[in-house]
Amino acid sequence: MSIREKVIDLIRDKATSLPTLPVIINNIIVTAKSESTTANDLARFISNDQSLSARVLKIANSPYYGAPKKIDSITRAIIVVGFKEIIAIALGSGIFKALNPKKNDTLMDMKDLWKHSIGVGFASKLIEQKTKIKVEEATMLMGLLHDIGKILFLIYFPGDYAEVLSKHRADQISLHVVEKELLGIDHSEMAYLLMKQWNFPDNISVPIRYYHNLSDCPIEYLNRAMTIHVGDYICHNAEIGHSTDLFPEKRDEVILAIGLSLEQVEELTMTLKNSRSQVDDFLEALS
């Protein structure tokens, strides 16, 4: 049985030890899909879980959001930060907790991987501000989740993934290419399959599925996928965290298609470098 077949069995089998999300996070996913949910509904969901509520408030009060004064309630956070942004923060925080292996592993520095993921979220927001592309509420969450497939490889297939990383270093080609070659599945598809199992909306899961394979991306999600793709490159270029990919792709045609010049990419790289302390604060708040 190939690794890809094993992955599909792993995700479909309810009896496996695949990370599951707390009930509160599942409720928030349902909330994110429903147009009838009110700010009061969301505040009640989050406030019922003290640990989640504390993390959401910590992130909402981080320098990244620049609140003029301390936010001391979920209701206030929704007003100041925004309804859909708070949903994204809550989901990201819950998934960070669910997908943080307790065992340290020499294959991957988890802290650096999460820093990179946060950095991609930051970079994607910068791309939004510089172009006419609007990804809006899902931007930070897509950045945070785009590499979770690597964590699953690390947890469930460490020996096979060690071979991938070794060949990646030796052949000096992008990591997702080696994953596909040796495992039959790359980390973006792995993340997509898990998010489908978690009932994530397509506007988050599909762009992550195709951010390395833009030519196959459904047109309605292409702008989002390109935003993650270019944000990923900017974050690598800014050296924020580490994704384990030593040879990230730089595709000029995608940069131009998203509405940026190559000079603007360098400007955004410098802006992101100057946000390093905010990335660190965001990671601390997630923890």
Q: Which residue has the tokens 């490159």?
A: 233
Indicate whether 197 pLDDT > 80: yes
The residue behind tokens 């399959």 is 193
The average pLDDT across 69-95 equals 88
Q: What does the alpha-carbon distance between residue 130 and residue 127 come to, in Å, rounded to a whole number? A: 5
For 199-209, what is the mean pLDDT? 92
Q: In this prediction, what percent of the chain has a pLDDT beyond 90?
A: 52
Distance CA 49, CA 56 (A): 11
Q: What distance, in Å, lies between the first and last C-alpha atoms of the chain?
A: 37
Going by pLDDT thresholds of 50, 70 and 90, the confidence category of residue 102 is low
CB atoms within 10 A of CB 39: 14
Mean pLDDT (the chain) is 89
163-171 CB contacts, 8 Å cutoff, 24+ apart: 165/107, 165/244, 168/245, 168/246, 168/247, 169/246
| Lookup: tokens for 91 | 């989901």
Q: Give the pLDDT of residue 105.
A: 65
Nearest CA to 148 out of 197, 187, 91 is that of 187
Q: What is the pLDDT of residue 40?
A: 87
Which residue do the tokens 């993921």 mark?
117
> For residues 193 and 162, what is the distance between their CA atoms, to the nearest angstrom?
22
The model's pLDDT over 117-172, given as tens digits with 9 standing for 90+, comes to 999 999 999 999 898 777 666 788 899 999 999 998 988 899 999 999 999 999 99
- What six digits make up the tokens of 114? 């999460």
Q: Please give the Cα distance from 172 to 28 (Å, whole number).
A: 41
Q: How is domain 3-19+104-286 classified at the architecture level of CATH? A: Orthogonal Bundle (1.10)
User: How far apart (Å, rounded) are the C-alpha atoms in residues 51 and 286?
Assistant: 11
pLDDT of residue 180: 95
Distance CA 255, CA 31 (A): 34
Give the start-to-end residue ranges of the domains of the chain.
3-19+104-286, 21-98
Give CA–CA dist 91/81, Å, rounded.
15
